[in-house]
Every structure is written in C-alpha cells, then in structure tokens.
C-alpha cells in the first residue's frame, strides 16, 4: 500500500527545515509564547498538559488487523482516516505551516526518514530538538517514509470522525501517517513516532524500548526501563557516564541505538544542585520550556507547578556536555527496571534473575500519588503498564517480551529492579527515596560491584536484595525495617502482591512456568506477619 504524503502549500514549503534560530524568530513573531531571560522559549499548551491516551486510534486494515494488540488500542477504518486527512488538508489551506525533515533512529540500518508538519513554530522547534537532525547533504532528495501532522487548532467532530472528543491521535501504520489534532502537548508528536517504530521494528528482529540509556567508561551500556515519572531522564543524565538518550531506544543485533536526538525533561522542582546537567540544558538559547512559569524578570520558576505538575523542558542532546555523538552503543551490560513504588514496599534495589526480569517487564509496575492527577484520593494508586509503556506498544506484549528475553539470555545481561519511590512508609507517611542513594546503588550495580556484595533473598518477591554497600545507610536496604510498624508494612505488601497477581493473570497463557513462578508470593507475606 502507498505511503501517504501531506500536500503542502507554498507557505508550508517555504518553512521547511528552518534552523532553531529561525524557528525561535517565527515563534516570537507569531506570538506563540515568551522569550525567557535565559534565551529559552516558554510556551503554554492550555487544556492539554499531558498525553491524551484515550483519544488515540489505529487504523484497522488487512495488514494491521492481525498485527495489533486490539485489547489495548481503539480501531478506526481506513475510510475514517481518509475523511480525517481530507479535513486536515482543508484546515491547512492558506495557513502558514512548518515542516521538519528529520531522522528517527541513530543506526543508519534502521533509520526512518520522518516528516513532521506543524501549525505552530514552537512545535517544529520542539521536534527539531527531539529527533535527529540530518546533515545538509542528507536533506537533498530526502524522501520521508513516515509523516506526523500536528494541528492543535483542529477540532475533531465525534459525529463526523467517530472520535470520543475534539482531540484525536489517528495512526495509519500501513500508509505511514499520524494525524494529531485538538491538543497542544508537544509530547504527542514524539510519542507518535515512537508508537510507529514500536510497530515496525519487531518484524525486523529489533526490540524497541521505552527506556533511557547511557554508557560507562568501561564501554558497558545500560538501559533504564520505566513509566513516566520513574526517573529515566533524571538517572540517565549522570556526569560519570555518557548519555545516549532519555526515553526511546532499540536493541538490534548490532547493539543499542537512540531513536531521538534530544531530551524532554520534567522541570518541576528542577535544581542546579540535584540535576546540574538538566538544569543547564533547560537554561539556554532555544530550549523549549513547556508550561513552565516565568517570573517578573523572565526567569523560569521551576518551583511553580500552577500550570501543571508535568512542566517540561525540551533540548537537543548537544545541550548535555557528556552526551553521545553517535547515539549508538554496544549490547547492554545491564538492564534496569525503574519503579516509583508509592506503597513503600519494594527495596531500593534488587537483582533479578532472567525469569523475574520477564515477570517485572510484563507487569510494568509503578504507582501514582495524590496531587498529580485530578480526582485521586489520598491513597497511592498502582499502575501496571506492560513493557513499561503500554500506551505506545501497538503489538501484543508477548512480542516485546520474547524479544527481550532472548536478548538478555544471548548477552548474559545483569538485570535490576530499582525503586525510586517511597521508603519508610507509603506515600504520605514515608519519604521519597533520596536521589543520592539511588545513584550510589545504581552505579555500584552498573560497575559490577553490587553483584559481589552480600545479599539476601526477599521472601515475598524472590529477588536478591543487597544488605550493605559503602556510602549507603544500610537501614534503607530492607524496606520492612524502615517502617515504624512492620505489621502495617506486611498488610501493605499483601495489598500490593494481590494487585501484582491479579494483573499478571492476563499473561498466564503467554509465559513459561518459570516466569509464572517468578512473581511475588502472597502466603510468604502472611507467614511474616
């Protein structure tokens, strides 16, 4: 089937592949936001300050019908997509548009030439930072194999377009186009590219991953899986390691590579002390500050969460001093799974055997806390998002799970589970794990030192938990002992284990006995009571 192209007027053609400086000028001229005193460009997205996962649709056709995990995705027909595309074209007529021709994927073998068409100059600036910028010579004869069109001003009509609301993210993977309308959140564009690669690459034997990645001085790379807010961006920016990327990578027979060429960091409470690299990158010319409040002196106020808790900064990887130039590295030495456990049950770090790694990869556990989402009570809420990124995984989790399992076995990778969430009690009673402790434990895991430290087997989860490490207060290593009331810990652990078990029931038909047996054991909690 034919790859769709978006028809461009002469205005759109005239705004193709503008540089960052040109895009800042356009954004200022069009009054799309405000220049900060640092030279960053600050914008507000209005109603949508995060992704609209419930407004995403995938075209079901002869090809995708049997390929997509439909329990996780809503279907539309090719005819519905055609109608939407016609209406997007009509909406574009006479408008000034911005076009960026970029690559998704640092490895030339798998690189996807991608065209992004936007209504807003700052959206073009955002995606120019986030994807990989071709060399001038590569732009001659650039033939896009995938297109994302993002029109925040477009309003979908549920009657006409069959949508749930005025917001729409419509993905035609066969004809290689995504249409985004009715939302200003820039993250939709990058995650649309990610979703398509997650569809495309497994058929080529390549494992796409929602993870950050970095490389140690010994050449050993590490990937950090995790849902939003678990620490991918924060922990991958480590001055002692080379940063590959903060969000989207793939593992091919030749090693790992970044899909992107930039980062998209959360800025609420960002400080120069705790996160110097990200702070510096957020305070430079042309960085996009999304829903960050500027003070009277036009300085960003990273403490102000009044627009959203999900305020963001988008910058190219060059803005981080120790970022990789190639975006590529060898096979990972370590796989880390990050969870922000607001129940305070998980230890700060645990060593996983391959079956446990598969169990936790398919579970994709983290927890949300009150305050970050409207309508949430005071109790933490468990989230299980398979492959640590269900909203971006068009195929069945077993596809990604089997690929990962094979790669971990083939390359003898060490796997770890890291809790960046709560210690000393659940959310409300305990406190967030200190970043310093997380980093110390993590670096010992990545260097190989931690694997040789004394460990105990956790009676409930079965994984191995270190009992001591120089530079870390040993009392935080055993979560049960950090709670003032151990029986309350047991009750909370039992609650969490039940949620794990209930969630994993969906996978029993797809995994081997060893993976099934790698989950937490409820009776083991009760035995400890």
Ligand X SMILES: Nc1ncnc2c1ncn2[C@@H]1O[C@H](COP(=O)(O)OP(=O)(O)O)[C@@H](O)[C@H]1O
Give the ranges where 201-255 is alpha helix by DSSP (H): 232-236
Considering beta carbons, is residue 220 or 229 the nearer one to ligand X? 229
Least CB distance from residue 304 to ligand X, whole Å?
A: 14
Least CB distance from residue 139 to ligand X, whole Å?
A: 31
| Phi and psi torsions of 79, nearest 5° | -65, -40
Phi/psi class of residue 231: alpha, beta or left (left: φ > 0; alpha: ψ in -120 to 50)? Answer: left
Strand-pairing partners, residue 74, are 57
Is 163 considered catalytic here? no
269 carries a ligand binding annotation: no
Lookup: tokens for 360: 């936790």
312 carries a ligand binding annotation: yes
CA distance 196 to 146: 9
CA distance 373 to 370: 7
Q: Which residue is nearest to ligand PEP (CB)?
A: 228
Q: Which residue is nearest to Mn ion (CB)?
A: 233
Is 312 considered catalytic here? yes
The answer to whether the Cα torsion of 421, 423, 427, 432 is positive or negative is negative
Q: Which does 231 bind (CB under 5 to 8 A by kind): ligand X, ligand PEP, Mn ion, none?
A: ligand X
Least CB distance from residue 418 to ligand X, whole Å?
A: 8
232 carries a ligand binding annotation: yes
185 carries a ligand binding annotation: yes
| 212 closest CA partner among 370, 512, 420, 34 | 420
315 three-class SS: strand
Among 51, 175, 333, 405, binds ligand PEP (CB under 6 A): 51
Binding mask 219-238 for Mn ion (x = CB under 5 A): -------------xx-----
351 carries a ligand binding annotation: no
Is 395 considered catalytic here? no
CA angle 389, 102, 89 (to 5 degrees): 85
231 carries a ligand binding annotation: yes
Lookup: tokens for 187: 């993250």
CA distance 77 to 63: 12
Binding mask 171-210 for ligand PEP (x = CB under 6 A): ----------------x---x-------------------
Strand-pairing partners, residue 101, are 115
Lookup: tokens for 488: 């309350």
Considering beta carbons, is residue 57 or 225 the nearer one to ligand X? 225
Determine the length of the chain. 529
167 carries a ligand binding annotation: no
CB 115 within 8 A of CB 144: yes
CA distance 401 to 409: 12
Strands 381-384, 414-419: pairing kind: unpaired
> Which of 48, 51, 115, 249 is flagged as catalytic?
51
Binding mask 211-240 for ligand X (x = CB under 6 A): ---------------x-xxxxxxxx-----
Is 341 considered catalytic here? no
Q: Which residue is nearest to ligand X (CB)?
A: 231
Stretch that binds ligand PEP, among 97-105, 154-162, 226-234, 445-453 (CB under 6 A): 226-234
234 carries a ligand binding annotation: yes
* Residue ranges in 143-162 that form contacts with Mn ion under rule CB under 5 A: none
Examine residue 392 and tell whether it contacts ligand PEP (CB under 6 A): no
Q: Which does 435 bind (CB under 5 to 8 A by kind): ligand PEP, ligand X, Mn ion, none?
A: ligand X
| Half-sphere CA count of 300, side-chain side, radius 13 A | 34
Question: Which run of H or E residues covers position 188?
Answer: helix 187-200
Examine residue 247 and tell whether it contacts ligand PEP (CB under 6 A): yes
DSSP string, 264-288: EEE-TT--TTT-HHHHHHHSSTT-E
> Which of 48, 133, 161, 210 is flagged as catalytic?
210
Contact residues toward ligand X (CB under 6 A) are: 226, 228-235, 246, 265-266, 420, 432-433, 435, 438
Residues flagged as binding site for substrate: 51, 185, 191, 312
Residues classed as catalytic: 51, 191, 210, 228, 232-233, 247, 312
Contact residues toward Mn ion (CB under 5 A) are: 232-233
Contact residues toward ligand PEP (CB under 6 A) are: 51, 187, 191, 228, 232-233, 247, 264
């Amino acid at each position: 089937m034919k790859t769709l192209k978006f028809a461009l007027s002469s205005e759109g053609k005239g705004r193709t592949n503008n540089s960052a400086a040109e895009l800042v000028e356009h954004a200022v001229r069009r009054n799309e936001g405000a220049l900060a005193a640092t030279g960053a460009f600050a914008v507000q997205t209005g109603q949508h300050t995060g992704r609209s996962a419930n407004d995403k649709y995938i075209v079901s056709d002869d090809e995708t019908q049997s390929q997509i995990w439909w329990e996780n995705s809503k279907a539309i027909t090719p005819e519905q997509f055609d109608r939407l595309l016609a209406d997007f074209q009509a909406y574009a007529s006479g408008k000034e548009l911005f076009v960026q021709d970029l690559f998704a994927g640092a490895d030339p073998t798998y690189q996807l030439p991608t065209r992004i068409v936007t209504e807003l100059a700052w959206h073009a600036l955002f995606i120019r930072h986030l994807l990989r910028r071709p060399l001038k010579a590569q732009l001659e004869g650039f033939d896009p194999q995938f297109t994302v069109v993002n029109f925040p001003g477009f309003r979908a009509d549920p009657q006409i377009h069959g949508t749930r609301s005025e917001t729409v993210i419509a993905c035609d993977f066969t004809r290689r186009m995504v249409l985004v309308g009715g939302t200003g959140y820039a993250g939709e564009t990058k995650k649309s590219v990610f979703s398509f690669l997650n569809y495309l690459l497994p058929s080529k034997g390549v494992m796409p991953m929602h993870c950050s990645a970095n490389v140690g001085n010994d050449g050993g790379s590490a990937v950090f899986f995790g849902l939003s807010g678990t620490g991918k961006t924060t922990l991958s920016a480590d001055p002692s390691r080379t940063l590959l990327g903060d969000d989207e990578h793939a593992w091919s027979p030749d090693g790992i590579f970044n899909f992107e060429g930039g980062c998209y960091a959360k800025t609420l409470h960002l400080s120069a002390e705790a996160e110097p690299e990200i702070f510096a990158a957020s305070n430079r010319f042309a960085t996009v500050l999304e829903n960050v409040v500027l003070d009277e002196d036009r300085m960003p106020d990273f403490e102000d969460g009044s627009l959203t808790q999900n305020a963001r900064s988008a910058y190219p990887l060059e803005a981080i001093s120790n970022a990789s130039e190639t975006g590529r590295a060898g096979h990972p030495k370590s796989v880390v799974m990050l969870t922000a456990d607001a129940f305070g049950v998980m230890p700060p770090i645990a060593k996983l055997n391959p079956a446990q790694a598969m169990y936790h990869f398919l579970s994709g556990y983290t927890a949300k806390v009150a305050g970050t989402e409207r309508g949430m009570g005071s109790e933490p809420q468990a989230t299980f998002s398979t492959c640590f990124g269900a909203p971006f995984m068009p195929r069945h989790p077993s596809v990604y799970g089997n690929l990962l399992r094979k790669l971990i076995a083939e390359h003898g990778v060490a796997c770890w589970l890291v809790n960046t969430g709560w210690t000393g009690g659940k959310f409300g009673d305990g406190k967030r794990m200190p970043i310093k402790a997380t980093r110390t434990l993590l670096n010992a895991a990545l260097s190989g030192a931690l694997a040789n430290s004394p460990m105990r087997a956790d009676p409930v989860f079965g994984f191995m938990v270190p009992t001591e490490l120089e530079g870390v207060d040993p009392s935080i290593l055993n979560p049960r002992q950090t709670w003032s009331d151990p029986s309350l810990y047991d009750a909370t652990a039992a609650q969490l284990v039940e949620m794990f078990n209930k969630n994993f029931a969906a996978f029993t038909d797809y995994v081997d006995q060893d993976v099934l047996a790698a989950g937490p054991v409820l009776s083991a909690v009760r035995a400890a009571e």
